[in-house]
Amino acid sequence: MLDFECPSLWMTPLDNYPMSVLETEEADKFMEATFFYDAELKPSEQTDGFAEATLTALETGELTPLVKEELKYTIQSRRLANGQSELGVEFTEPEQGQLTEEEKEKIVKRREQNKLAARRFRQRRRAKGPVYAKEVNELEADNTRKLAEIRRLRKERDELQAMLHNHLLVCPTVTIQTG
């Protein structure tokens, strides 16, 4: 038997969560449907799915297989509770058809065109490399000039503000209004 600790969302006591009357009724309906479904299932069908999901969950370290299995049984139980039949899901591999000579030629032609287009793209990118480098250098130099201009203008603004402040302190004709 496997011994492991795994927190389970569906085993949390509902007493810890206050529920409205509507939620309580919904939970009761769900439980009735689950019990009805469990009684209808053959034990081997139910335990085989959960056993396989448990092993998968242990191998991968994720609870997704267990959650999916429980969701599958919940859906089936609701269907049975509503008088509907069980859902049967079958997965079949799609048949692989053989390509005709014309289709094979199209594929080869498309691949060749793709190779040529990729080659032309790489050549254009290599050719534009120095152009882009020159443009980057020009933009960086322009940015540096603009930053220097910003520093100069801020310094000039600060000097003018200081001069105005000093003038207002000594000028008798100007009154400073506050507020």
For the chain, counts of helices (H) and of strands (E): 4, 0
Q: What is the pTM of this model?
A: 0.32
| pLDDT single digits (tens) 30-69 | 555 554 444 444 444 556 777 888 888 888 888 888 888 8
**Cβ(37)–Cβ(77) under 8 Å?**
yes
Domain boundaries, the chain: 46-82
Residues of the chain with pLDDT under 70: 1-47, 89, 91, 174-179
Looking at residue 12, what is its pLDDT? 45
**Cβ(46)–Cβ(40) under 8 Å?**
no
Looking at residue 117, what is its pLDDT? 97
81 vs 107: CA distance, rounded Å: 53
Nearest 10 degrees: Cα torsion 142, 146, 147, 148: 100
Question: What secondary structure letter does DSSP report for 63?
Answer: S
CA angle 174, 176, 179 (to 5 degrees): 155
